[in-house]
Structure 1
Amino acid sequence: MHTILVVDDDPTVAEVVTAYLERAGFLVDRAADGPEALRLAEANEPALVVLDLMLPGMDGLDVCRRLRERGPVPVIMLTARGDEDDRILGLEIGADDYVTKPFSPRELVLRVESVLRRGHAEQTPASEPPLRVGGITLDRSARSATKNGRALSLTLREFELLAHLMRHPGVAIGREQLMHDVWGWEFGDLSTVTVHVRRLRGKIEDDPARPRLIRTVWGVGYRFDVPHEADAYRGAGVPGSRAADSTER
C-alpha cells in the first residue's frame, strides 16, 4: 500500500484527511510542522505528500523546496482560496497540484489517486523509439532528455509535457487538452499548465522570453515548433506565431 504524508497544523483537517485516505486504502503518516514532515519523509519515503501551505515556522513552500531537493516525490498543496500568488509559486517550485480550502475530502482523495496513477504510468512507459525534434532528444524508456547533447533536468511532469508536445510538432494543443492528456485530469486550474510550460521553456529555450520551440497560440494553447518550420510560420503570417508567441500566458 502507498504511504501518504499529510502535513497540516490544524488537527481537525489532518484527522479528516487521514480518515478519508485510510478509507481509500492508503497508509498515512502525519506531521504538524515542516521539520517533522522532513524527518518523516526521510525516515519513511512517502509515495505522495499532502502539504498545507500555511505552517508554523517553516512554511509549505520551504518544505516543498526541501522535499524536491531530495527527490521527485509528488506534492499536493492545500491553500487558502485567496492565495493565488502562493499557489502559482508552489507550482513553480515543483508542486504537482493544489486544492483550495475549504475542500471536499473526497475530491482530495481523487486528486491523490490521479497523481499516483499518472506517476506510475510515467515511471513504467511503454517501449518506444527516442523522440528527436529541434535539437532535443527525449528517451522515455531511459527517462532521459538532452538538448544538443546537454542533459536536461526535468521533473516527471515537465518530462511528460515535453514528450507530449514533441509527439505533435506543429499542432496547436489547448490547455484543457494538455491537462487531460498529460495530467490525466478532467477538471482543474489551467494555470497549472501555464506554470509548467513556463518552467519547461526556462529549461529548453535559448531565450525563454522569446520562445522558439514552445509557442503560445492565442485563444488555443501551445504549439511545439521545429526551428525551420517556425521560420516558415512567421513568413506566412500564421496567427499566434509572431507577437502572439512572444508573451507567455
Structure 2
Amino acid sequence: MLCEQKCNIQDVAAVITAMTDREQPFLRDTVEAVISDPSIAQVILCIEEKNNWVEITLGSLIADPRLEIARMPLAPPGAVRNQALNYVQMKWVAYCDGDDVWCQEKTLIQRTYANNLRCDFVGADHYLTNEKGSIRAFAMARYLPMPSSWMVRTETMKQHPFNESLDQGSDGEWWVRTTGIVHKVRCPEMLLRYRIRSNSVSANTPSMRGKARIVTLANIPGLGAIIFFVTWFIWLFTRKKTYIWYRGWGQQPYNNTDQEMRNQCG
C-alpha cells in the first residue's frame, strides 16, 4: 500500500448527488460505502426537491446521524455541488455521484496523502464496472480524475466554485481554471468503482463512449479476463503521483506551487 501510516482524522464531508430517478437502483450501495469510510464525519445527500423514494431506498441507512438530506431544484452538477457547500461543516469535502461506489477506506487513504503532502486536492484512480457493479477493467486517470474520486479542502472549493452555467464538463473546466492555483496530487490507487450505464447524463461524451466500449467487450466471457489483465498491466506500469497536462487544454500555467508539488511527489 502506498499510504504507509493512515491518518485517523474524521474531518471529511461527503457530498452525494442523486438528482434524478436514474440513480435510485444504485443509491443504497453508494451511501453504504460512503458511511463506512472511517474519515467521513458528515454526509450531504443532494436530491431533487420532489423526490419521493429516497427514504424507502435507503431503509435503515437513513437513520445514520451523519446523513443530511438536501432537497434542491434540478440543476447542473456543478451548481448542485456548489449549493451543497452551504451544508458542509468539515475541513474537507469528498464528492460521489449517486451511482458510483467508493472502495474500502477510500477517503481515509486520501486523507493520509493530504497530510503527508500538504496539498489542497487528492484524486484517485478507478475501476470501470458494468451496470450491475461488476469490475471489468482498470482505468487510466492520467489527466483528470473522476469527480467521484475527488477530495478537496472545503475552503478551496468555496474560493473556486464550479461553473454553474455548464450542463456538462464543470469538473474539467474547474480543473483547467485552478491549475497553478490549487495544489493537486494523484493517489495512484484504485479507490473508486465507476459505473458505466447507458442512460447516464454523460453517456454520449467521447470519453464515456470509449469506456462503454471497453466494458461491453469485457462483459464477453473469456475476453473479459484478457481486458482486465491488460488494463491492470498498463495501469501498474504507468501510474504516477502527478497528473499529466493535456495539450488540448492550451498552455499550462506555472508557478512555484507546481514545482513544489513535483519535488514532494518525486
> TM-score per shorter chain, which class?
0.3 to 0.5
Select the structure of larger CA radius of gyration.
1
Structure with greater proportional helix content? 1
Q: Relative contact order: is structure 1 or structure 2 higher (C-alpha 8 Å, sep ≥ 6)?
A: 2
TM-score (norm 2): 0.31
TM-score (norm 1): 0.32
